[in-house]
């Protein structure tokens, strides 16, 4: 991120606790000083800003070789020959590994492996940027120089891209990317549309985007004895273990993965990409540790992306604005190897009830890499379409956009009729509208002008699926009286190193400061990945359970009551006890390995929000600026207002990027991204961000989703933002933009 003088504004806006959590009536909830609900600083902040936090790319055990991937410049074809003589003759180059050197691997399990095609397992070229050789050298510069000297002979073919590929139904059998029914339907949407008082029908496009995480992916692989040790930049240490154990036919216990800190992931590090497979193979061939760090450019082809999602949305409503029919057809790009499915109508299933519904989910297979989840998958790109269409419908009905949402409020989940585990969306609408001053908005478009600028306001609903994974954790009282929390989960910037100690502290009745948090290793209690906004709900519940177990053990030593914290070390000494350990877990009904929006249980689980945006548009210059954003959420209990609020601000800025800046444009002739660096791909920087991002949460305790009252928030913040912005641009100018991002050409002329 570019540092501008306005950095201070971003970090110091509105951080007071009292305004962050609001009771349904709008009254500020009283917050305790410590433990849950406190605004304690990030407990890992010092380690990060001083550089003590160790990231995968920084570790360099003695003897480590740098591996640089040689990648294909063409998207489709066949490797004819790889000339390695010049590279091998260069200073410091130790070895050049080519496909012929590679051992046969077992079939990948997708996921945790991100794509079923493992590069260098044959001579086929399936996407531009595909690794075809690895140069190993003593220094990074020598490896990079050697890579430039490798002589690739490739027989190229004309590639297919999204625009030229056929639309097909995804494979469902054996496809790990199927999260629900492809074509849910009820009633007769077409007939209802014909009888509706008002209809809209349009196509919306959310383009391909990349994660652009701050820390490029990196991995260090080292064989000791028969065991593999990796320091990997990942969102899921156990996933790396399982992926490699499958591919290499090794016992999972012989693969040790560590990742104490991950410098952002947003989904790019959720599953296992080729460099994480190739590094251990290279290390085994070389007999030395091998580190492969992707360059920024390689991150564009080496760790997934959010695929373009093209949505056709048609809505029909009666004269009172009640939806009578919803149609939402989505298509996303995927690779020829994997039917990755972006469920662009996931949110459409559960947000508004309508008696007639027709949803379809299709893919187009192109000569590109396999896409992957990116904050916020599914609902993120899809809700731009639905919530833009709802805005269009509000004008067709001459109805206030918020009133239209309220006329279509779902009391139970329209997808399955289940009650929600907890849902305060109605309060979020009201509170968000109050904080924004929505009632003062003129109904007409182009109604407000300030000098050369047109001012408009728009809103959108947000909905995100709640994902849960089983998890385990330990909370330990050490011999010297310290508390240590242990879980295999990762820290990807979201605040897990702060909130897990807080959860343990609350259960033990002590302060969180000073609690040691150990995470990010496969020798720690197993958890799922740090993705799907699932860590707090899943791992947090396991930590709470473990802390309860420890508390019970302490009480057991003290005849059933919990002595004051100061007395705990003496208690251990008197009882001749070493470390006391509490083990805890979080499991899903039927011991399911994963559950989306409540699974087969009795309750439907989602998170919600209401996003309000004010845009200023200068049509002479083709410029648009977000002046204000007010977002209010119903997301279960909020454990830490500081980290929660940061998550939502980050999500809103992420959504601003979707709306106004980001698109990974591809040359349709070569199937190559036109730009693979941060000067050619526009991301929001501090100067893009308005003075005020007002985030609030409705006070809530979800009794069903977890043992600690929470659901998840990480991805919710992105949802709805792009639609709210596009809707505000329409309100300001009368220009409806259905193809993101909104750029100069959409605003002038
Ligand atoms: Mo997130 S896309 O589940 O890392």
pLDDT recorded at residue 7: 30
Sign of the Cα pseudo-torsion (566, 571, 572, 576, in order): positive
Crossing angle (nearest 10°) for helices 496-508 and 535-557:
30
pLDDT recorded at residue 225: 92
Query: Binning pLDDT at 50, 70 and 90, where does residue 9 land?
Result: very low
pLDDT, tens digit, for every residue of 512-545? 888 999 999 999 999 999 999 999 999 999 999 9
pLDDT, tens digit, for every residue of 592-646? 999 999 988 999 999 999 999 999 999 999 999 999 999 999 999 999 888 899 9
H or E stretch including 647?
helix 641-660
pLDDT recorded at residue 689: 87
CB of 528 sitting under 6 A from ligand 1: no
CB of 235 sitting under 6 A from ligand 1: yes
The span from the CA of 156 to the CA of 152, in Å, is: 11
Instruction: Please tell me the distance between residue 233's alpha carbon and the centre of ligand 1 in angstroms.
Output: 14
Q: Which atom of ligand 1 lies closest to the CA of 534?
A: 3
Is 70 exceeded by the pLDDT of residue 5? no
pLDDT, tens digit, for every residue of 253-296? 999 999 999 999 999 999 999 999 999 999 999 999 999 999 99
Can you list the domains of the chain with their CATH numbers? 20-30+306-467+598-747 (3.30.365.10), 45-54+470-587 (3.30.365.10), 61-158+214-264+269-302 (3.90.1170.50)
Instruction: Please tell me the distance between residue 368's alpha carbon and the centre of ligand 1 in angstroms.
Output: 21
CB of 267 sitting under 6 A from ligand 1: yes
CA-wise closest residue to 724 among 610, 608, 645: 610
Mean pLDDT for the stretch of residues 381-402: 98
* Tokens 């260098």 belong to residue: 120
Residue 244's SS3 state is helix
pLDDT recorded at residue 41: 74
pLDDT, tens digit, for every residue of 160-200? 999 999 999 999 999 999 999 999 999 999 999 999 999 99
Q: What phi and psi, each to the nearest 5 degrees, are found at residue 630?
A: -120, 125
Instruction: Please tell me the distance between residue 165's alpha carbon and the centre of ligand 1 in angstroms.
Output: 27
pLDDT recorded at residue 29: 44
pLDDT recorded at residue 36: 63
pLDDT, tens digit, for every residue of 281-340? 999 999 999 999 999 999 999 999 999 999 999 999 999 999 999 999 999 999 999 999
Output the DSSP codes for 397-438. Answer: TT--HHHHHHHT--SS-TTT-PPBS---HHHHHHHHHHHHTG
CB of 531 sitting under 6 A from ligand 1: yes
CA-wise closest residue to 635 among 622, 644, 646: 644
CB of 488 sitting under 6 A from ligand 1: no
Mean pLDDT for the stretch of residues 582-593: 95
Is 70 exceeded by the pLDDT of residue 15? no
pLDDT, greater one: 397 or 498: 397
pLDDT recorded at residue 40: 61
The predicted model scores a pTM of: 0.94
Beta bridge partners of 486: 474, 518
pLDDT, greater one: 125 or 577: 125
- The residue whose CA is least distant from atom 4 of ligand 1 is 267
pLDDT, tens digit, for every residue of 699-737? 999 999 999 999 999 999 999 999 999 999 999 999 999
pLDDT recorded at residue 38: 57
Instruction: Please tell me the distance between residue 372's alpha carbon and the centre of ligand 1 in angstroms.
Output: 9
pLDDT recorded at residue 2: 34
Is 80 exceeded by the pLDDT of residue 39? no
Instruction: Please tell me the distance between residue 350's alpha carbon and the centre of ligand 1 in angstroms.
Output: 20
Is 60 exceeded by the pLDDT of residue 28? no
Beta bridge partners of 330: 311, 361
pLDDT recorded at residue 641: 87
pLDDT, tens digit, for every residue of 452-497? 999 999 999 999 999 999 999 999 999 989 999 999 999 998 889 9
pLDDT recorded at residue 681: 87
Strands in 21-22's sheet, in edge-to-edge order, are: 21-22, 692-698, 623-634, 606-618, 453-465, 449-450
Is 90 exceeded by the pLDDT of residue 249? yes
Q: What is the mean pLDDT of the chain?
A: 93
Mean pLDDT for the stretch of residues 664-685: 93
Q: Which atom of ligand 1 lies closest to the CA of 530?
A: 4
Give the CB-side neighbour count of residue 192, counting CA atoms within 13 A: 20
Tell me which of 239, 271, 375 to substitute to probe ligand 1's pocket, judged by most ligand atoms within 8 Å of the beta carbon: 375
Lowest mean pLDDT among 50-54, 249-253, 294-298, 659-663: 50-54
pLDDT recorded at residue 42: 79
pLDDT, greater one: 7 or 457: 457
pLDDT, greater one: 135 or 681: 135
């Amino acid at each position: 991120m570019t540092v501008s003088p306005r950095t201070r504004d971003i970090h110091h806006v509105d951080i007071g606790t009292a305004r962050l959590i609001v009771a349904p009536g709008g009254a500020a909830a009283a917050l305790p000083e410590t433990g849950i609900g406190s605004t304690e600083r990030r407990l890992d902040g010092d380690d990060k800003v001083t550089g003590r936090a160790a990231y995968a790319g920084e570790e360099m055990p003695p003897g480590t070789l740098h591996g640089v991937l040689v990648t294909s410049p063409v998207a489709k074809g066949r490797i004819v020959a790889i000339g390695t003589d010049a590279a091998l003759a260069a200073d410091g180059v130790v070895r050049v590994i080519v496909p012929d050197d590679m051992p046969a691997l077992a079939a990948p399990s997708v996921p945790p492996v991100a794509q079923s095609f493992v590069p260098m397992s044959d001579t086929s070229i399936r996407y531009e940027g595909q690794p075809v050789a690895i140069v190993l050298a003593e220094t990074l510069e020598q490896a990079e120089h050697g890579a430039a000297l490798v002589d690739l002979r490739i027989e190229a073919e004309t590639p297919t891209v999204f625009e030229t590929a056929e639309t097909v139904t995804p494979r469902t059998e054996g496809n790990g990317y199927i999260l629900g029914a492809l074509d849910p339907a009820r009633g007769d949407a077409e007939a209802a549309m014909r009888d509706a008082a008002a209809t809209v029908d349009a196509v919306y496009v959310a383009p391909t985007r990349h994660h652009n995480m701050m820390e490029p992916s990196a991995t260090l692989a080292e064989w000791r004895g028969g065991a593999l040790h990796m320091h990997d930049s990942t969102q899921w240490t156990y996933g790396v273990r399982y992926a490699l154990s499958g591919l290499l036919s090794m016992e999972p216990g012989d693969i040790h993965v560590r990742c104490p800190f991950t410098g952002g992931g947003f989904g790019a590090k959720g599953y296992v990409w080729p460099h994480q497979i190739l590094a251990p193979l290279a290390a085994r061939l070389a007999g030395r540790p091998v580190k492969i760090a992707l360059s920024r450019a390689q991150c564009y082809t080496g760790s997934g992306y959010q695929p373009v999602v093209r949505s056709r949305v048609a809505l029909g409503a009666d004269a009172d604005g009640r939806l009578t029919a919803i149609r939402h057809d989505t298509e996303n790009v995927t690779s020829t190897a994997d039917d990755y499915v972006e469920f662009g109508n996931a949110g459409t299933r559960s947000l508004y009830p309508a008696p007639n519904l027709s949803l379809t989910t299709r893919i187009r297979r192109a000569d590109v890499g396999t896409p992957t989840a990116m904050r916020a998958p599914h609902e993120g790109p899809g809700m731009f379409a639905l919530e833009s269409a709802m805005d269009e419908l509000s004008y067709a009905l001459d109805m206030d956009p918020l009133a239209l949402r309220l006329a279509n409020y779902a009391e139970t989940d329209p997808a399955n009729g289940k009650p929600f585990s907890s849902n305060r969306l109605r309060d979020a609408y009201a509170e968000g509208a109050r904080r924004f001053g929505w009632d003062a908005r003129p109904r007409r478009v182009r109604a407000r002008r300030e000098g050369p600028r047109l001012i408009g306001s728009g809103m959108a609903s947000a909905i995100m699926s709640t994902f849960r994974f089983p998890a385990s954790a330990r909370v330990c009282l050490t011999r010297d009286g310290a508390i240590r929390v242990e879980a295999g989960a990762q820290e990807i910037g979201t605040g897990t190193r702060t909130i897990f100690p807080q959860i343990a502290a609350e259960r033990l009745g002590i302060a969180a400061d000073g609690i040691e948090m150990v995470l990010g290793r496969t020798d720690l209690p197993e958890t799922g990945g740090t993705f799907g906004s699932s860590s707090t709900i899943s791992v947090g519940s396991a930590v709470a359970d473990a802390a309860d177990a420890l508390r019970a053990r302490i009480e057991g030593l003290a005849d059933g009551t919990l002595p004051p914290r100061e007395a705990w070390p003496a208690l251990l000494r008197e009882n001749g006890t070493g470390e006391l350990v509490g083990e805890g877990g979080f499991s899903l009904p039927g011991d399911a390995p994963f559950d989306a929006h409540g699974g087969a249980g009795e309750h439907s689980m989602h998170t919600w929000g209401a996003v309000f945006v004010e845009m200023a548009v200068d049509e002479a210059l083709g410029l648009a600026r977000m002046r204000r954003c007010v977002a209010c959420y119903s997301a279960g209990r909020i454990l830490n207002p500081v980290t929660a609020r940061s998550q939502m601000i980050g999500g809103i800025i992420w959504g601003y990027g979707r709306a106004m800046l980001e698109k990974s444009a591809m040359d349709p002739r070569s199937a190559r991204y036109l730009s693979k660096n941060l000067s050619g791909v526009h991301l929001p920087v501090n100067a893009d961000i308005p003075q005020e991002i007002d985030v609030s949460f409705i006070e809530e305790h979800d009794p069903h989703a977890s043992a600690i009252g929470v659901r998840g928030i990480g991805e919710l913040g992105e949802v709805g933002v792009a639609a709210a912005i596009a809707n505000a641009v329409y309100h300001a100018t009368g220009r409806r933009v259905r193809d993101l991002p909104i750029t100069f050409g959409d605003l002038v002329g």
